[in-house]
Amino acid sequence: MPTFSRSTRTNVPNLNRRTFLGASLGAGLILALEACGGTSSGGASGSGGGSGGGTIKWAWQLPTTWDPVTSSAGSDVQMLALAYDPITALDEQGNAIPWLAESWTYDKSGKQVTFKLKSGLKFSDGSPLDAEAVAKSIERGRTQDGSLIAPQLATIKKVSASGELDVVVELSEVDYQYPLLFAGKTGMVVNPAVFEKDADSLATQPAGSGPFAVTSYTQNDHATMKKNSHFFAADEIEVAAFDLYPQPDPATAVAAVQSGQFNLVRIGGAQVEQAKQAGLDVDVIESMFVSCLDVHSGMAPFDDPAAVEALKFAIDREKIKEVANFGIGDVNYQPFPPGYVGYNEDLAEVYAFDPEKARSLLADAGYDKPVPVVLTSSGFAPAAVELIQAQLNEVGFEAKIETIPGTQHTQLVYIEHSKALTYDGFAGRESPVQAFQVLFGAEGLMNPNRWSNPALEAQLKKVKETPTDAAEYPALLQEATKIAVTSYPNTFLFQTPSIVVRKGVSKLPASPSLRRFEGVTAS
């Protein structure tokens, strides 16, 4: 059984985080992961494993695509994890732990890391998932045209297979973030036999090794899945099928669970009391998701730093939280929750609501008339959007709301960068450096202007060159948070837990980033 020291593994320090990371994964799965070799007998043999039945009917969200490489929404990771396995996972403290890889080793230079895979791994079609397949999958994410995970893999120089189980990642610079990075979408392994033949097919037909395999998919409507008998922890999957749907209209969500249309639904804070009165089970699961305003500093009026700063002070986040989520969640001015290694205490009240200061900032900048701005919304939380509009107008903006269809939202805001101000959210990332790259990097999906701050880049270089279990790591990361929050226009509002209502489905294991279904039963 492998052991881990600094030479073999970089760890996020145990910082006594509060419950946002939740409890550990299912006990049975953890035992399987900790067993020498790490592969359950059911997964290794390809037998069904487990004796449960039933179907989970999960109304949550459909992915923008079933291809992890071109997925354009951070929250896609929840759905993609049904069909794909990442190389590593996160434990309840946010440390990287074995998943497809049973161990990893950095060399003394910090420029090479070798991931040793579990033996007997297979893709959902039964073909071997070996070191060569993993190397090709990583290489595709790094080099394919249109890859949206390529920026996170920029320090990889070469990936190769050494034998059947060892994946050798050679880096152009020291980077101790990869065991964390590979715990999410960036580390999800796609079957090379599929993408080498027809990569476009992955948009609707995933080819992974996760707990479920898609049998049919109707875009924007639903996906039908069955238990993947080749999943390495198949013995822990207690349901035979999994149906995935978009989140229902808030007005009908609770009734849809009562009627049996769905048995597991994500709801908003407004529906919590209704669900409880209906006798349904309601779980509030802490998450890394933070509601925010995405700001394009290359478009008027936010090409003026005074307008950006006025925006940050104009928002009464507590009221927005009350309206958007019925008070569930915590006001926050930065991308990480309190207790997380990247959370900077100095920023706890950095942009506390101050409408008078917002007015003064605009007046001092020479604005003697209301400043026009278009606030873009995908239709999510319209009451919150209207409140933000009113708060902006109160301090000297002239905000108008533009609602665009959800199916076009990602394209217009994050691909075409054509909107100045958008109400949205950031789903968090397994690696804090990756979170910075997505939010603030020169190629960052949620950095509409693609502006890069040299001071932040220099600080992140220090973070990447520091093992995550080193004593100086938290301070280095928190300084990066301070630089980013005070120099970029992104306006963070509040942490948003996942609220789940269920009927006939056992409680979900709480996990740091991904919703897991090992051990979950459905009647």
Q: What is the pLDDT of residues 131-162, one digit of tens each?
A: 999 999 999 999 999 999 998 899 999 999 99
Share of the chain above pLDDT 90, in %: 74
| pLDDT over 50 at 113, yes or no | yes
| pLDDT over 70 at 33, yes or no | no
Q: Which of 319, 334, 329, 333 is nearest to 384 (CA)?
A: 319
Give residue 212's pLDDT: 98
Please say whether the beta carbons of 258 and 503 come within 8 A: yes
Tokens 């963070």, located at residue: 492
CATH level 3 topology of 19-45+65-203 = Dipeptide-binding Protein; domain 1 (3.90.76)
| pLDDT over 70 at 361, yes or no | yes
Give residue 341's pLDDT: 85
Q: Which of 244, 233, 234, 197 is nearest to 48 (CA)?
A: 234
Distance, in Å, from the CA atom of 466 to the CA atom of 218, rounded to the nearest integer, reads 45
Q: Mean pLDDT over residues 283-290, rounded? A: 88
Q: Which of 465, 424, 464 is nearest to 447 (CA)?
A: 424
Distance, in Å, from the CA atom of 21 to the CA atom of 518, rounded to the nearest integer, reads 17
Give residue 34's pLDDT: 33
Q: What is the pLDDT of residues 236-266, one digit of tens each?
A: 999 999 999 999 998 999 999 999 999 999 9
Q: Which two tokens stand for residue 334?
A: 């930065």
What DSSP string runs through 117-156?
A: EPTT-B-TTS-B--HHHHHHHHHHHHHSTT-SSGGGGTTE
Share of the chain above pLDDT 70, in %: 89
| pLDDT over 90 at 226, yes or no | yes
For the chain, the structural domain boundaries read 19-45+65-203, 290-495
The backbone torsions φ and ψ at residue 77, rounded to the nearest 5 degrees and listed phi first, read: -55, -30
Q: What is the pLDDT of residues 409-443, one digit of tens each?
A: 888 998 899 999 999 999 888 899 989 988 999 88
Range 290-495 has CATH code 3.30.70.141 = no
pLDDT category at 324 given cuts 50, 70, 90 is confident
Q: How many Cβ atoms are within 10 Å of 181's Cβ, its own excluded? A: 26
Give residue 27's pLDDT: 32
| pLDDT over 80 at 35, yes or no | no
Q: Mean pLDDT over residues 447-458, rounded? A: 94
